[in-house]
Structure 1
Amino acid sequence: MPGVEKSLMVQRSLTFATGLVECLCFAGAVFGWASLVFVLKTEGYFSSLCVNVTQVNGTALDCSGQDEQFSLVFTIASFMNNFLTLPNGFLFDRFGTTVARLFGIFLYTMGTLMVAFSSSVLSILLFPALSLLAVGGILFLMTNMQVGNLFGSHRSTIITLYNGAFDSSSALFLIIKLLYESGISLRASFLVLSACSVIHLLRTFVLLPKKFIPYPLPEGYTYGIIFGKSKRPEQTAANGNAETTVEETPLKRDVPVKQEKSFRECLLSRLFLWHLVWLSVMQLRHYLFIGTLNPMLQRLTEGEPSLVSRYINAFAFTQLCGVLCAPWNGLIMDRHKGKPRAAGESEHEADLRAAVLSLFLTALQCVLFSVSASTPYLPLQYLTFILQVVNRSFLYGGNAAFISIAFPSCHFGKLYGGVMALSAVFSLLQYPCFALVKGALNGDPLYVNIALTVLSLLAFIHPLSVYLHCRSLASQRAKSVTASTSSL
């Protein structure tokens, strides 16, 4: 029926658009930490850790203890953001979209309320607040990525677009900083964020399925509430009559074409292990950069507040471009869609082959970003900000897209959560790195930056391993074709 098809297209378009807004405006706000720190310092959070020290030129205020505390808040929040993605992945795979989102909305709302009612006296509230914001935000992203299944050949592009929007949402704290400078209190801004939870609840019940959006998408699939009624997908017989009703199912579970690998087999595979290394080394580089951006700018500007504020604003503005950069990666991964494949080549093999270039470019971008960030020249940091946002968009969008194409979709939540959780353990190295810079290296991060740049080179092993895996599959396919031809 044309009317029903039109309403389905409208609903899917609204689901996509509102999901993009949700990821863009809320999900990854915690990664705009540098902008929020500027406000928190002005408000006097952890100011009791600043001490007067005697220097040759007189007495100066040493706030390294305050910087360390802010760095610890971000380290714990970024760790929780990744590590708790594993149980959240199990929660999503087991109970579906509605339960996972309600849990995420609860955590996010509690986090915003804690920041709203914190103060310089209650600075300690930042530790649970930022962690709750991070975990709730990643649940928004996780439950929205399945929207890509509604759009078939553009699946990877939409997944990477949502991840780019997640990165760009770090600009939310820049908006809060600008509002603060114009006279809007920190409490008022976070109370408004808390009130926005009503919007998240409406999306959950109206524009998203109770369980999952399947892939491939069944014909006539419906979800959520349409014209006030909750509908389920129907399988239509050849004569046009509705024969049976199919429950909403997880990705690809409705078409058991072959025996899928178990979760354990996927977790212990070489593809997953090298993907974990690929994500971990680059993520550590980004986390350390974000967590130390404020003190780094303090050092390069010699503590000039207006100059620090200008560069922090420039960094936050570049984060908005994440949503524009991420789809490039999706287009690279989807570029083979619609083109004829090699004889006997499956869509899975074609997807893997297309991912090699994406993985390689992401590793290359990280090395360039790390070299630029390691150079102690203030104007060069504008280029660093650009490289950072491009690489971060490619990194997280490519991470989700690769997992969705390399492994069975029924394990997506668990594997996505697993790789994020394991990489989070590795990212804990950012705090000892920060302590090393502030302590033994007297504030000079040069040697730590060089070490991280060298470590980033490990990321190139992953695209090489995927390329060799594709070659192996192609070789096996050729042997199979030769064998079947000779038998005839």
Structure 2
Amino acid sequence: MSLCQKSCGVQRGLTLFTGGVECLGFAGIIFGWASLAFTLKQQGFFSSYCVNATGVDGLQVSDCSGQDEQFSLVFTIASLMNNFLTLLIGFIFDRFGTLILRLLAICLYTLGTLLLAFSTPALASLIFPGLALIALGGNMLLLTNIQVGNLFGTHRSTVITLLNGAFDSSAVVFLIIKLSPCGIVVAYQAGISLKASFLFVSACSIIHLLRTFFLLPRTIIPYPLPDHYTYGFSCGKLKKSDDSDNIDPQMSTNETQSAQQDCAKPEKTFRECVLSKLFFFCLIWFSVIQLRLVLFIGTLQPTLDLLTGGEPSLVGQYINAFAFTQLCGFLCAPWNGFIMDRLKRKYKVAGMSDCEAELNSSLISIFVTALMALVFSICSAIPVLPLQYFTFVMQVLCRAFLFGGNATFISVAFPPCHFGKVFGLMLTLGAAVTLLQFACFTVVEDVLDGDPLYVNIAMVLLMLFSFIHPLSLFLHCRRIAAQRTKYAM
């Protein structure tokens, strides 16, 4: 192996490692909202929405349902920003490439962390734009990292799901802000203020900048990966041409033209991709499961208040357990990709094409995700406090499989040149469905007197629609197999 080949191998390893750190430590921290909301509530954010009410025994009690609604609204808006603008992000990514999108992401992310750093109970409204910008910037960082899987060939699905799992597990960052390094002590009580914590996160943006310029291409990593592909610093020398990010100068003229034609003439147009059954049923599968997950996170605080009788220490204990389980997404998600990669190699041996083998391997992942979502919904609908520990585990598994499986499926079912747009549209339309999260929360608080039982039962029934996608994909794969058999005869 030449020195140049070793250098490229080290470079790709560093790209993957730093991408995992970036996704784990920064990109998806809004999913740790339950931990941050607990801390903000303790500090008195939105406390003006608490009102005095008369209890059943005639005593005066404090009704903070209005405060809970504000926290739920913050998370709802941030979740929408996390997904709703992804279509625009996808167009920017496909049109301008990695460099421009990451610079924009770093600016938005840094501004969001600064807004949270300078928020106070008197300036609680800063949380709305702050968390929304963090969500938007983090989603941009994830999109630029998903393409790193293209560098690793037969392990592509494993890498994509690994990075998505790291994105989910970054919820632990808000737990770290909530807790001191020693354990069960609120950070600001230990002398670590929210301002100092978020200023540190803001300063870490320099790491994102360094990675953007030295460990990622200026354009997009192609798939399938051309021979002798190089990017960034190659053999100790930074390439000056934008074209060098995609096609190595050592490739022949025919290889170069072929690689360019693969992107210039995709098998389907973007319109055909969007109007296909694969996209429509994937959208149903993704949207209903994401709605269940978002609703669970957004209502976790009031649900635990109800199940614990409002005991703050017990609520904090369960929120800590929930946040710790989020970290396990980083460990669970790669198994999804590992299974898909192994199945893909098995199907290829059986005579299938690359595309057919990848679709068949995705089918198993999609079905298992729908099944886990159904089990998770059933568990969350049972109002038994100790059962919530198992519910937390199922939530992490379901989320890890959902986002990693969705990204992998889109990357294999649609032309690579439309990945950013199709992926963005999927998340945008999914975000529109998550608007129901705040409506469901309002129904629970105002109509059902804080008891989410009937809404949870409705969510269990809704999860049955998620099985339409694996059924449709199974029939699609059977048609492809029948055509292959017909042509082979």
TM range (shorter): over 0.9
Shift of 1:470: 0.6
1:206 paired residue among 214, 219, 224: 214
Give deviations 1:319-356, integer Å, cap 9, x for gaps. 00001100111112111344463776311011111111
- Choose the corresponding residue for 1:369, options 343, 358, 376: 376
Per the alignment, residue 54 of structure 1 pairs with 54
1:21 maps to 21
Give 1:234 deviation, angstroms. 2.4
* TM-score, scaled to structure 2: 0.94
| Cross-structure match for 2:472 | 465
What CA distance in whole angstroms lies between the structure 2 residues aligned with 1:256 and 1:192? 41
In the TM superposition, residue 215 of structure 1 has moved relative to its aligned partner by: 1.3
Which deviates more from structure 2 when the two are superposed, residues 216-225 or residues 430-439? 216-225
Question: Structure 1 residues 479, 18: closer, same or farther in 2, change over 3 A?
Answer: same
Can you list the C-alpha shifts for 1:288-322, whole angstroms capped at 9, x where unaligned? 00000011111111111111111000000000000
Q: Quick check: 2:347–2:357 contact (8 Å CA) kept in 1? A: no
Contact preservation (8 Å) 1:344, 1:477:
no
Contact 2:348 2:357 (8 Å CA) reproduced:
yes
Shift of 1:183: 2.2
Partner Cα distance (1:442, 1:228) in 2: 65
- Which is further off, 221-230 or 1-10? 221-230
- For the 8 Å contact 1:214–1:254, the answer to whether it is kept is no
Distance in structure 1 (CA, Å) of the matches to 2:260 and 2:60: 68
Range moving further from structure 2, 329-338 or 433-442: 329-338
- Match for 2:197 among 189, 204, 217? 189
After superposition, the C-alpha distances for 1:99-130 in whole angstroms (9 at most, x for unaligned) are 00001001100000000011111111111111
Q: Which of 215, 232, 239 is residue 230 of structure 1 equivalent to?
A: 239
Counting matched residue pairs gives: 475
Q: 1:257 to 1:438 in 2, by over 3 A?
A: closer
What's 2:438 paired with? 431
1:294-333 equivalence runs, <5 A = 294-333=301-340
DSSP-derived class of the 1:52 partner: strand
Greater alpha carbon shift after TM alignment, 3-12 vs 342-351:
342-351
- 5 Å-filtered alignment, 1:39-78, equals 39-57=39-57, 58-78=59-79
What is the SS of the residue equivalent to 2:447?
coil
CA gap 1:469/1:340 in 2 versus in 1, 3 angstroms: closer
Matches within 5 A, 1:257-296: 260-296=267-303
Is 1:378 matched with 2:352? Answer: no
The amino acid that maps onto 2:192 is I
| CA deviation vs aligned residue, 1:383-428 (integer Å, no higher than 9, x gap) | 0000000010000000100000111010000000000000100110
CA distance in 1, matches of 2:253, 2:165: 41
Q: Is the 8 A contact 1:219 1:235 kept in 2?
A: no
Residue deviations 1:244-272, cap 9 Å, x none? 9969x9xx756469751000000010000
* Matched-pair contact (CA < 8 Å) for 1:236–1:243: no
CA RMSD after TM alignment: 1.9
* Structure 1 residue ranges without an equivalent (≥5): 483-488
Contact 2:28/2:168 (8 A) holds in 1: yes
Query: 2:184 is matched with which residue?
Result: none
- The CA deviation at 1:441 is 0.3
Q: Equivalent residue of 2:121, what SS?
A: coil
Kindly indicate whether the alpha-carbon contact (under 8 Å) linking 1:83 and 1:425 is maintained by their aligned counterparts in 2.
Answer: yes
Instruction: Indicate the residue corresponding to 2:363 in structure 1.
Output: 356
Asked if the contact 1:253–1:410 (Cα under 8 Å) also holds between the matched residues in 2, the reply is no
For 1:485, the equivalent position in structure 2 comes to: none
Q: What is the alpha-carbon distance in structure 1 between the residues aligned to residue 437 and residue 92 of structure 2? A: 28
Q: Deviations over 1:414-457 (max 9, x none)?
A: 00000000010011000010000001101110000000110011
TM-score normalised by L of structure 1: 0.94
Identify if the C-alpha distance between structure 1 residues 305 and 274 changes in structure 2 by more than 3 Å, giving closer, same or farther.
same
The CA distance in 1 between the partners of 2:485 and 2:254, in whole Å, is 41
Q: State the distance in 2 between where 1:118 and 1:334 align.
A: 45
- For 2:67 and 2:402, the matched residues in 1 are separated by 31
Q: 1:193 to 1:471 in 2, by over 3 A?
A: same
State the distance in 2 between where 1:156 and 1:341 align. Answer: 15
The alpha-carbon deviation at position 132 of structure 1 amounts to 0.3
CA contact (8 A) 1:205 1:225 kept: no
Q: State the AA in 2 paired with 1:101.
A: R
